[in-house]
């Protein structure tokens, strides 16, 4: 079964062109599934059926896995069996008719606009690292890109004069996203006063560099964000995706159409973007309950 998993991940990488983060997520989910089957004494994939998959998903939910993550697990298992069917290693896909667990109750954490401003004020722009951190945070909130997309940016991916950046998302799909004036200003400050100091090798193309002059990693950015999150005193955990969620929600609250937000986020399916409409409707309901005299 481990050999089948390796072949499947290779197939997703080469033929489907999925991003490294997606491949890692599928690999982790399927490793958990195969481990679960082994614990149940099942050694052959053709011996599995709907019942085994259902009990695996139920076990994940019982262990506290978020509904969205359980949905991703099912998607990984379903795709895995579809691959095995295509390779004629099994005769039927037992996951084909299984329904995806509802994740309507899962609503991503979103910062208020005032909390976003508070977070973005934390970097000390008089320092080299502070100017870099300020530019990164401003770009994340201005564009809603993923942290993996942020650290993958090269200098040539940003057009300051025209006010946009180009990034490559999941499935190697390229998209163009506008940059706001505040993000542009912070980026110009970083490029003018910090990047040249951090750059150790002239051939380095990465936009955001660490203290060693190399491309900043996802882990490096997580540490930076965690530092400013603590410094701001904002309640709750702030992740890079929190800024992405806040970007989308604030756009919709201020009148942006769903299709435009979908395009900027790089969602293949608009149903993924629709989660943010639940958030905006909830906010309207909260405002109503707090302000209407007969609510």
Residue 6 designated active-site? no
Residue 173 designated active-site? no
Q: Out of 32, 132, 134, 146, pick the active-site residue.
A: 146
Q: Out of 166, 241, 278, 283, pick the active-site residue.
A: 241
- DSSP of 115-136: HHHHHHT-S-TTSHHHHHHHHH
Q: What CA–CA distance (Å, rounded) separates 94 from 51?
A: 9
Among 95, 11, 108, which Cα is nearest to 69's?
108
Count of all residues that appear for the chain in the document? 295
Q: Out of 81, 190, 228, 276, pick the active-site residue.
A: 276
Q: Out of 72, 131, 132, 267, pick the active-site residue.
A: 267
Q: At what angle do helices 2-14 and 67-86 cross, to 10 degrees?
A: 90
Q: Out of 78, 244, 245, 250, pick the active-site residue.
A: 244
Residue 223 designated active-site? no
Q: Out of 170, 193, 218, 278, pick the active-site residue.
A: 170
Residue 244 designated active-site? yes
Q: What CA–CA distance (Å, rounded) separates 259 from 265?
A: 10
Whether 153 and 167 have beta carbons less than 8 Å apart is answered as yes
Q: What CA–CA distance (Å, rounded) separates 235 from 149?
A: 26
Residue 170 designated active-site? yes
Residues acting as catalytic residues:
146, 170, 241, 244, 267, 276
């Amino acid at each position: 079964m481990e050999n089948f998993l390796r072949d499947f991940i290779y197939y997703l990488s080469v033929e489907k062109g999925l991003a490294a983060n997606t491949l890692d997520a599928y690999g982790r989910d399927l490793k958990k599934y195969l481990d679960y089957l082994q614990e149940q004494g099942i050694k052959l994939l053709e011996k599995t059926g709907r019942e085994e998959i259902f009990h695996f998903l139920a076990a994940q939910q019982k262990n506290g896995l978020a509904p969205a993550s359980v949905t991703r697990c099912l998607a990984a298992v379903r795709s895995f069996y579809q691959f095995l069917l295509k390779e004629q290693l099994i005769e039927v896909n037992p996951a084909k008719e299984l329904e995806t667990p509802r994740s309507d109750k899962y609503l991503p954490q979103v910062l208020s606009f005032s909390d976003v401003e508070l977070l973005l004020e934390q970097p000390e722009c008089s320092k080299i690292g502070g100017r870099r951190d300020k530019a990164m945070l401003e770009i994340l909130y201005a564009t809603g890109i993923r942290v993996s997309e942020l650290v993958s940016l090269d200098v040539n991916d940003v057009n300051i004069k025209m006010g946009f950046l180009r990034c490559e998302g999941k499935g190697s799909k390229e998209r163009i996203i506008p940059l706001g004036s505040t993000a542009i200003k912070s980026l110009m400050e970083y490029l003018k006063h910090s990047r040249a100091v951090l750059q150790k090798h002239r051939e380095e193309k990465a936009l955001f560099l660490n203290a060693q002059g190399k491309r900043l990693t996802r882990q490096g950015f997580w540490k930076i964000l965690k530092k400013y999150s603590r410094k701001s005193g904002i309640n709750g955990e702030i992740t890079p995706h929190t800024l992405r969620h806040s970007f989308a929600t604030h756009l919709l609250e201020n009148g942006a159409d769903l299709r435009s937000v979908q395009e900027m986020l790089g969602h293949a399916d608009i149903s993924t973007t629709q989660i943010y409409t639940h958030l905006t409707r909830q906010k309207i309901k909260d405002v109503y309950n707090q302000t209407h005299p007969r609510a």
